Structure 1
Amino acid sequence: MLEMEVRYRNSKFETPVTYGETVASMMRKKDLTNKQILFCGNQRYYDLFAEKLRQFIPKTSDHEWYITTNNRYCNTMKNFQELTRFLERFRGSKQAIFFGIGNEGVMELLGFTQHVTPIEAELCLLPVSLRSFAQSLSFVDQIVSDKTMMTVMEITEAPHSILFDHTLADQQTTGKMVDLLTLIRCGIVCDYSFLQSLYLNFPTRDELLQQSFAAFSETLLNYYGTHSEQLRNFGKTFERAFFQTENGSLLSNSMKTMFGLLFELAWNVVAGNVHFNFKNFMIWLVRLGFPIIVPAGISLADYGQQIIVLAEEQPLLGLNQIGEVGTEKIPTQRELLQTFEVYQKIVTEIRGE
């Protein structure tokens, strides 16, 4: 894989993005002399990288870690307030540089905090998965409510640089499956032929886990550069509704993301008459090892009500066809019940085969 640095542009912002290079080689190139350095990262990546990164820090510099949970939504109000307090020790004569290393929540938490803090700091993002890479390319950072995961505050700004070391993403198992959802979303929203190519490239779970995602860095840059907002929003309302639904906690955050994507796609196919073989798509997901059964404790009728409440605040962009976004729509109760019926029928048929 060749090392690439590109000027990535998204609406009126742009930033240099480096990919095909390891974290270590990028750190060697950074001038870190006489700096005050903050690493903000998930616990998991602190355990993996704290020692490795320390060797790149010169004696003239100070560095600190702010460690968050491994949760997807670590960009909560509580963590934002704690990080802001933590930064009070940073009022010094040295230039500050903030490194965000971890999942999507870390990218958002640090991006938002850097935007509002009075400290002049360079912001460098080190996403560790395709989905956190996609998040960093959206240039939108949100702080969410600790309880409902609804957006409390939001800013739009580009970081000073993004480095994506795909070797980290390739080492994951469940993480790789959630990363594939990021690519599937690109196919659904932007390009049907790309979705078909994923189906051909990853016919089984073994092939998904064995193949590198390195080739998709450029793909994400292209799709997010042109369709960032649509990609950020597709499946989001259906995902967030699980946080408002009784027993929604039976689903992990990754599963909420997956079902959010699946149900928004299903709603478009059923209610919007979008031409797509949804059953074959589901059979493929089962072959890859995705769980497709919604836990019995979750009432789909209640879940549907929550979707409508959220969609009334922010209407959904319906699909004209797979790979082409259409006009704003608000799902009706009847459409959603019909969607869930079709979905359950397909699940029953697949389990019976």
Structure 2
Amino acid sequence: MEVAYRHQTNETLIIYGETVASMMRKKKLENKQILFCGNQRYYDLYAEKLRQFVPKTSSHEWFITPNNRYCNTLENFQELIHFLDRFSRQKETLFLGIGNEGVIELLGFVHHVTNLQAELCFLPVSLRSFAQSLTFSAQIVSNKKLTTVMEIDEVPQSILFDHTLADQQTTGKMVDLLTLIRCGIVSDYSFLQSLYVNFPTREALLQHSFSAFSENLINYYQSDSEQLRDFGKIFEKAFFQTENGSLLSNSMKAMFGLLFELGWNITASNLHFNFKNFMIWLVRLGFPIVVPAGVSLADYGQQVIALAQEKPLVGLVQIGKVGAKKLPTQKELLQTFEAYQKIVTEIRGE
């Protein structure tokens, strides 16, 4: 299926509901130099398959990034810029990013600043990297604390999304569900309710495809791209600034970031939402809800406040509807963490 996706004044072509093979066969790859940029994992899985689509009249190179979410670091940016020295400025060029959100951001940013006249194409391998490609936003982050050092908007010529790649994952599928949950929280409460009905258990989550939700994701990002991109992000990044934040994996930082921003909105704006039932559902799906004892929530809260001073948070007027941007207070965050810990204790029966 082909969709003309518009966000503000920008537009790209999305092709989904097809396999990578069928989409690649349709692309005009003759007489080009092709840069594949991808995580190590996807190089190992797909390098040989993708090579068969490169005609003899074209050449190709791979730039391989680490597998972690934030591979869009300043260090990798500099390495990729240096890597491009081997490419001719006279030949037609195709940049093709295959991988996670970091790859999408890294390649988008490099495409923006390079003097190569290249077509930019994304091949996301998960719902969350598909969602990132729909934001038209690319950041380069510092190597250690992952603070944003550069940010631009960049529009790909096309996005090719093969949902079967996302459906093959296990842990990745749980993180992808958070992308859909975020859509429900920010854009459409009835959609959040439908996720609860469709995925009542971990078994249901792992057995069912997300393919039916591709159109929903496209529609929500078309209308609320910036709010969806930002919701939970400050709370997530604050863990990188917090002592012992390394006790949490990147995926867990993203999950707790989403939960705490939701919890803060419920507390600060007195929203009508059964947060405890929502948490019970997450436990049933296999999500960890206990913050490691070594992570100080008091310190973490200070980091959230400091980051929010630079970029205020998305305020919800109700679940599924955003309002004005807001700044969290120390008192609100303290109440949020206390309410959260109380729910965790009740769920665990302590």
- Same fold per superposition (TM over 0.5): yes
SS of residue matched to 1:41:
strand
TM-score (norm 2): 0.99
Structure 1 equivalent of residue 221 of structure 2: 224
Question: 1-side partners of 2:314 and 2:47: how far apart?
Answer: 42
SS of residue matched to 1:154:
strand
Structure 2 equivalent of residue 265 of structure 1: 262
SS of residue matched to 2:134:
helix
Deviations 1:270-303 (A, max 9, x none): 1210110000000000000000000000000000
Do residues 131 (structure 1) and 128 (structure 2) align? yes
SS of residue matched to 2:270:
coil
Question: 2-side partners of 1:96 and 1:204: how far apart?
Answer: 46
Structure 2 equivalent of residue 251 of structure 1: 248
Question: 1-side partners of 2:283 and 2:162: how far apart?
Answer: 29
How many residues matched? Answer: 350
Structure 1 residues 78-227: aligned runs within 5 Å: 78-227=75-224
Is the 2:89–2:116 contact (alpha carbons within 8 Å) kept by the matching residues of 1? no
Deviation of the 1:150 alpha carbon: 1.1
SS of residue matched to 1:138:
coil
Question: 1-side partners of 2:154 and 2:9: how far apart?
Answer: 9
Question: 2-side partners of 1:56 and 1:328: how far apart?
Answer: 47
Structure 2 equivalent of residue 343 of structure 1: 340
Structure 2 equivalent of residue 14 of structure 1: 11
Question: 2-side partners of 1:60 and 1:71: how far apart?
Answer: 34
Amino acid at match of 2:342: K
Question: 1-side partners of 2:314 and 2:60: how far apart?
Answer: 44
Is the 1:13–1:157 contact (alpha carbons within 8 Å) kept by the matching residues of 2? no
Is the 1:109–1:142 contact (alpha carbons within 8 Å) kept by the matching residues of 2? yes
Q: What residue ranges of structure 1 are gaps of 5+ in the alignment?
A: none
Question: 2-side partners of 1:26 and 1:296: how far apart?
Answer: 47
Is the 1:18–1:164 contact (alpha carbons within 8 Å) kept by the matching residues of 2? yes
Is the 1:100–1:106 contact (alpha carbons within 8 Å) kept by the matching residues of 2? yes
SS of residue matched to 1:203:
coil
Deviations 1:52-104 (A, max 9, x none): 11111111111100000001000000000000000011025321101100000
1:292 to 289, 293, 298: 289
SS of residue matched to 1:328:
strand
Structure 1 equivalent of residue 329 of structure 2: 332
SS of residue matched to 2:292:
coil
Structure 2 equivalent of residue 76 of structure 1: 73
Deviation of the 1:109 alpha carbon: 0.3
Q: What residue ranges of structure 2 are gaps of 5+ in the alignment?
A: none
Amino acid at match of 1:118: N
Amino acid at match of 2:7: N
Do residues 323 (structure 1) and 316 (structure 2) align? no
Amino acid at match of 1:102: G
TM-score (norm 1): 0.98
2:305 to 297, 305, 308: 308
RMSD: 0.8
Is the 2:89–2:117 contact (alpha carbons within 8 Å) kept by the matching residues of 1? no
Question: 2-side partners of 1:342 and 1:69: how far apart?
Answer: 37
Question: 2-side partners of 1:59 and 1:324: how far apart?
Answer: 52
SS of residue matched to 1:224:
helix
Q: Kindly, what percent of the aligned residue pairs are identical?
A: 78
SS of residue matched to 1:294:
coil
